[in-house]
Structure 1
Amino acid sequence: MLWHAIAPSRRYTKASHDVVRHPRLSSDAKILLLYVQGLPEERADKALSEHAKKLGITGRAYQRAKGQLIANGFVHEWKRQGERGFWVTDQLFANVPLTAEEAAAVRNDRLGVPSAPSAPAVPAARPGARNPAVGEPGGRTAGGYEPVDEELGENYSHPPSEVAEGERVLLSLRHANPQLHLGVREARGLAEVAAEWIRRGVSAADLRRALTGELPKEGVRSAVGFLRHRLVQKLPAPVAAPAPFPPVSPSPVREFIVCEGEGEEHVFRPVGDETLCGPCAREANRVYWAARRAEMESEPDPLPWRERVAAIIESEQGAERGVEAGPPAVLAATRAQGSVRDAGAGS
């Protein structure tokens, strides 16, 4: 595959590789996310469905894309009762995944609602000075996201390495909690330790949750020292490599033996304890079943059960009168039974 790209110098939207390569977002969800991210401030009052309609994403396609964005933390919704008693739905859109607490803090800050002490509000992000979003500079950045320092026009043709991914996660912690604000140099100093988490199978989202959860009640004095201690102390165990399969020894080769079948003497190599080779075993089976079939065909058809019962009853009554009656086979059986009874009486 040939690849060619020119980084735009204006009128562009910066997209994170986490969004472009997100495994749980469909193409409609990604396009909708990037489209809303680049909207100017004056169009922020419209519902997400109206923006999706302009892109031709409607009906079930829109519901599926919206559900994916909500499930992965890019869209959050709240229902509240307005001044006149009508119910209003507040939508918060972010170009980075936010937890329910982080999203509520951003919403409260935008609406001027005081946040609870246990969930400090995330301060509103200031527009970037070097890399403006699409359109004229405004006072809103979707989801409270502040771009990480990077060179203008920098473009990756391959996925970022574990170190670059760890540095990106560390720089994004400032949006989860201002106490964890790191500079670029500080984040690069911890990126190698964070990369070891990723090498051991921890996703970027799980790493972010591990670093921002259960912060000290007295606050974080040094973000660098606190994060270095947590990265080292909570480092998960390395993923154990699967045990190799034991080598399979080949089956021993059996010696040739003489076949016990008819015909000219010949040998074969047995698989088990058989004494006939394949052709002789098939011929022996054919002869056996042919004889069984001929034997079954030569046997007389059995009498129906009604006739057998009637003959037995008639023979017993005739024996009492001294008269033999019934079919020969039944009479023979009757005579045999009478002989057994006479022999028993004489003894």
Structure 2
Amino acid sequence: MLRHAIAPSRRYTKASHDVVRHPRLSSDAKILLLYVQGLPEQQAGKALSEHGKKLGISGRAYQRAKAQLIAHGFVHEWKRQGDRGFWVTDQLFANVPLTDDEARAVRESWVGAVADRPGARNPAVGEPGCPVAGGYEPVEEELGENCSHPPSEEPGAAEAAQGERVLLSLRHAHPQLHLGVREARGLAEAAGEWIRRGVSAAELRRTLISELPRDGVRSAVGFLRHRLVQKLPAPVAVPAPAPPVAPPPAREFVVCEGEGEEHVFRPVGDETLCGPCAREANRVYWAARRAEMENEPDPLPWRERIAAIIESEQEQEREAEAGPSGVLVATHASGSVRDAGAGS
């Protein structure tokens, strides 16, 4: 397969390989996820179903795609009662999987941010206070930094990219951990080392946002760099490879007991015939058995078999009635026994 790919310099959306190659997301779910991720902030307040209709994904297809996104942590929903008593639904969209606790923390940070605005009211259905593109705004701020070819698949690049996404998502958990794209990229390698050591993206995120200083974070970059270095887990111990097992010594050659010209072979066990001679011996044996079976007489029909069985049983009864000398014995009513050949 030939490929020709040119990285766009503007108006594009970053797509993680974890999303594009997700084995349990349908194409509709992936398209919906990538579409919403790249929306500008003024369009992020619409419900997810409206974006699905704009893409031609509606009805059962939309319900299946939405269920998959919810099941894998990309979409979270909460129902609440608004100011006028009507029930509304808040939707949270993320381009990285979030647990229920993480999603709830992001939602609380939104509510607090909206409440602090002058004249702010409770948001409408699904209306966030900040972009919902998983920590990214449309990538207009990175113009001039793109090369003319797609990112290279160097060792560790995937982990560093995932670590960068985690760092950019921290702004939703706590405003003091807000990082710019350049700042997150500078810490991406340190965050990627956690993922290389077996820590999931969700666990890394929980570690970075937990137990923040009581007096606040003065520098998000300095605080996160210190935490990434100081709390870095030990490398996963790789078990030493087992020593190679020496192959068993080769058996000595023995003379084959088969017919024909004398020849030798190397036995595996205690066999006395080489492979070709053993196969020929089996062929001769089964050919003889087949010939014996073909020469056997046909079995009697079932009626004749039953008649023979009845006749054999009658013969056994006649032999049982005969005495030891072969003379029939008669028993009179008086109980005396006479020889049938003697006089009365």
- Taking the TM superposition and a 5 Å limit, the aligned residue runs for 1:1-347 are 1-8=3-10, 12-17=11-16, 21=20, 23=22, 25-39=25-39, 46-82=46-82, 86-95=86-95, 97-98=97-98, 99-106=102-109, 108-109=111-112, 112=115, 124-125=129-130, 141-142=131-132, 145=135, 147=137, 151-155=142-146, 157-158=150-151, 161=157, 162-163=159-160, 165-181=162-178, 190-213=187-210, 215=212, 224-225=222-223, 228-229=226-227, 231-238=229-236, 240=238, 243=241, 246-247=244-245, 249=247, 252-259=250-257, 261=258, 264-269=260-265, 270-276=267-273, 277-278=277-278, 281-282=281-282, 285-286=285-286, 289=289, 293=293, 304-319=308-323, 322-323=326-327
Identity of aligned residues (%): 50
Counterpart-to-counterpart distance in 2, 1:279 and 1:168: 65
- Structure 2 length-normalised TM: 0.64
Larger RCO, structures 1/2 (Cα 8 Å, 6+ apart):
2
Q: Is residue 20–residue 30 contact of structure 1 (8 Å, CA) maintained in 2? A: yes
Q: Could you tell me which amino acid in structure 1 is paired with residue 272 of structure 2?
A: T
Structure 1 position 299, deviation (Å): 11
Q: Deviations over 1:171-192 (max 9, x none)?
A: 4423322343457786566544
Structure 1 position 274, deviation (Å): 3.1
- Structure 1 length-normalised TM: 0.64
Structure 1 position 169, deviation (Å): 3.2
Q: Which moved more, 1:305-314 or 1:15-24?
A: 15-24
Structure 1 position 315, deviation (Å): 0.6
Partner SS for 2:253? coil
Counterpart-to-counterpart distance in 1, 2:322 and 2:51: 105
CA gap 1:265/1:302 in 2 versus in 1, 3 angstroms: farther
Partner SS for 2:271? coil
Q: Could you tell me which amino acid in structure 1 is paired with residue 6 of structure 2?
A: H
Counterpart-to-counterpart distance in 1, 2:56 and 2:209: 38
Counterpart-to-counterpart distance in 1, 2:289 and 2:227: 82
Which stretches in structure 2 are left out of the alignment for 5+ residues? Answer: 117-127, 329-344
Note the aligned Cα RMSD (angstroms). Answer: 4.5
Q: Is residue 110–residue 129 contact of structure 2 (8 Å, CA) maintained in 1? A: no
Partner SS for 1:142? coil
Q: Is residue 194–residue 232 contact of structure 2 (8 Å, CA) maintained in 1? A: no
Q: Is residue 69–residue 75 contact of structure 2 (8 Å, CA) maintained in 1? A: yes
Q: Is residue 111–residue 129 contact of structure 2 (8 Å, CA) maintained in 1? A: no
Partner SS for 2:194? helix
CA gap 1:64/1:104 in 2 versus in 1, 3 angstroms: same
Structure 1 position 322, deviation (Å): 3.2
Q: Could you tell me which amino acid in structure 1 is paired with residue 80 of structure 2?
A: R
CA gap 1:5/1:191 in 2 versus in 1, 3 angstroms: closer
